[in-house]
Amino acid sequence: MDKEYLESFIKNELHQEVDGELLKFSLYEKLLKEWNEKFNLTAITDDEGILEKHFIDSIYPMKFVDFKNKSLCDIGTGAGFPGIPLAILNPSLKVTLVESNGKKVAFLNEVVNSLSLDNVIVVKSRAEEFKIREEFDYVSARAVTQLNVLSELSIPLLKVNGELLAYKLFDVEEEVKNAFNALKVLDSKIERIEKYKLPISGDGRSLVIVRKLKATKKKYPRQFSEISSKPL
């Protein structure tokens, strides 16, 4: 990984000083490559891909979202994206990583221990079976599922006024339109959509920010079979 590129992105774009964080990103990359030889954690394994598509993509929303002293639950975190990069750069952010796949959970525990990430806990669970409700300032999710289904998985976890941060590709309008009913039923609304380009490839991204307006009715989330066969 090009550490100097990451350092200048963090300094110039996020206006944050960097010290031990770069070492943590290097160690994370090393573990990701090692574990990926044994288990299929991610399809992106080249240095530039890890730098841009995993690390920078994960932290880019720090330009629009205030993570200071907040709590965040990253559902379907996989190998830790975006939750771990956000945790490395925001020590005051309390991060809960939720992942259903046991091998990925073992990897996440190894990363959290090796990087001494005191602000992160790892939970092996499906998001819709996670018992905690109405708890988090933010729920993040990247590449998990379509926004209508994702809303039912994530909004019950949020506090009233909390926000879902849905990391999406650039063209998101159709998906957002298809989620209007789900958002209405779940007493939530689209707060805003931040559009941006990744700095190396120029690939477009959208951060869809959904605000929860009222406490979620107890019947949501439903069982996953129902969520996916009869999406809201």
Residues that bind ligand SAM (CB under 6 A): 75-78, 81, 98-101, 104, 126-128, 142-144, 153
Residue closer to ligand SAM, measured from CB, 19 or 221: 221
Give the strand pairing for 136-142 and 71-75.
parallel
Residue closer to ligand SAM, measured from CB, 11 or 35: 35
Q: Report yes or no: 36 and 44 within 8 Å, Cβ to Cβ.
A: no
CB atoms inside a 10 Å sphere around CB 216:
20
Cα→Cα distances 37→34, 40, 41, Å? 6, 7, 9
Task: Write down the least CB distance from residue 202 to ligand SAM, Å.
Answer: 19
Task: Write down the least CB distance from residue 40 to ligand SAM, Å.
Answer: 10
Task: Write down the least CB distance from residue 78 to ligand SAM, Å.
Answer: 2
* Residue with token string 């394994």: 45
| Distance in angstroms (rounded) separating the CA atoms of residues 207 and 186 | 20
Nearest residue to ligand SAM by CB is 78
Task: Write down the least CB distance from residue 178 to ligand SAM, Å.
Answer: 18
Cα→Cα distances 209→32, 51, 139, Å? 29, 24, 10
